Amino acid sequence: MAKTISQKDSEFNDQQEVITSMVQKNLSLWGIDSTWFTSIVLVAKNVWVVAWKAYLDPAQRTPLITFTKKKAREAYEKLLRQLVQILVSNPRVPDNDRRAMGIVIRDTTRTPVKPPKTFPEFLIDTSIIRCLIILFWDLGSKSKAKPHGVHGAEIRWAILDHPPVSVEELIHSGFDTRSPFELMFDESDRGKAVYFCLRWESTRGEKGPWSEIVMAIIP
């Protein structure tokens, strides 16, 4: 994955612009599906850009504008993560270009990095209003360090009325290379139940098993 898809909208906007601009210039060279990129990824990007620009104008920043911006990012970020995963595993993308986009360099050492076998343990700190802070570490480890060959943790989450029966119900996705991971919510979300599940991801983009699904109440 990218070093981290930032939780801050301003940094996220800068990151996505660098990534999509470089991909657009190298579609044919890197063998990226141009129909998917232009008809789906760039369409979601344009929706995000319009919503972000509207949000930046204090005169327009109504609750509806804030909500629209939030939903535009959620939809676009999911596609952006898919794009980054393609770039991670694509041998036609030069390492220098990966560095420029803030993407992990593929491991070319002789010692192979094995897929993660464990999953993260985690605690959820609810001491800050409208904020959930996820502190995570390796299962059963006394150290806070990530397992060998692990790049970071994927965090799946969703606000739900009932406990989910599958991880697939956790429709939102985040990624962090180091603990903690923070999520900010709107005032209207206070008191709602959020369900979380985490798994490790290796430097090669290989996924480990999911943790148990845990619930927290937005303070």
Q: Could you report the per-residue pLDDT of 62-97, keeping only the tens digit for each?
A: 999 999 999 999 999 989 988 988 888 788 898 889
Average confidence score pLDDT of the chain: 89
Provide the pairing of β-strand 172-176 with 150-159: antiparallel
Residue 10 has pLDDT above 50, yes or no: yes
HSE-CB for 98 with a 13 A CA cutoff:
21
Query: Is pLDDT above 90 for 126?
Result: yes
Smallest CA-to-CA distance from 192 within 174, 211, 215 is with 215
Quick one: pLDDT at residue 144? 80
Nearest residue to 53 via CA among 13, 16, 96, 91: 13
Q: Beta 181-184 vs 131-138: how paired, if at all? A: antiparallel
pLDDT tens per residue across span 131-189 = 999 999 999 888 888 888 888 899 999 999 999 999 999 998 888 888 888 999 999 99
Token pair 């509207």: residue = 54
Q: Where are the beta strands (DSSP E) in 108-176?
A: 120-125, 131-138, 150-159, 172-176
Residue 208 has pLDDT above 70, yes or no: yes
Task: Check: pTM over 0.85? Answer yes or no.
Answer: no
Instruction: Give the residues across from 118 on adjacent strands.
Output: none
**With 70 as the cut, is the pLDDT of residue 41 above it?**
yes
Residue 21 phi, psi (nearest 5): -65, -45
